Structure 1
């Protein structure tokens, strides 16, 4: 888990620094991008939780792999933290089922300061606009 912890710490730093920059003022998705480290943390915690069903763990693992892969639809290496928007949308998509099936399980691991289910729903409603409709369909298809 230390590799994931290092990834998480670095992600949190990058997102925080970016959110305080002038570039962040140009993005309508700043408040969502600030949630990216919390969503990654939740994915990891749920993937390790013995109470999470195996089929859900497979989806969680896919979302985690998408986060840590340098190759994805909107690359962070090119765009900086704005590139996490597709990772966030995919995370919300995967977490939606888990939170709806067992909200207490997800809340147990949620480190964020906002209400989890409402935030997931907001992200899913905005996903078409955030990443583009065609791309959003491809991202969802990659995890089914």
Structure 2
């Protein structure tokens, strides 16, 4: 049962050139994929910071409309509680700033240390009594 190959030929592996080429290709693909993956994670942290701030701001708007005053905001871990018992859960790692201002014009901000934009600038939600287009924007309250 001789197929024409010696035992030595059957045990030979891939030539060094082919192994180096495959290693190079895998290295290039990893060099492209890993930074893209890390950037997507940072964008996810930014989105969590925005969504958390929007949820807290919505609760504050509702409280202010119902009570004609700003609520007391208490943060315990990742739970934000207003003095009427309303609670909002912050996204993972989100750090909420202080609520400042009056019922006529107020601002609250947050940061996310692992985000891209949320790490340095953070996000703020500024509201005025008669405004209808209040929304989350980059930056911190003054």
> TM-score with structure 2 length normalisation?
0.26
Q: Which has the higher contact order (CA 8 A, sep 6+)?
A: 1
Structure having the higher Rg: 2
**Is the helix fraction higher in 1 or 2?**
1
**Is the strand fraction higher in 1 or 2?**
2
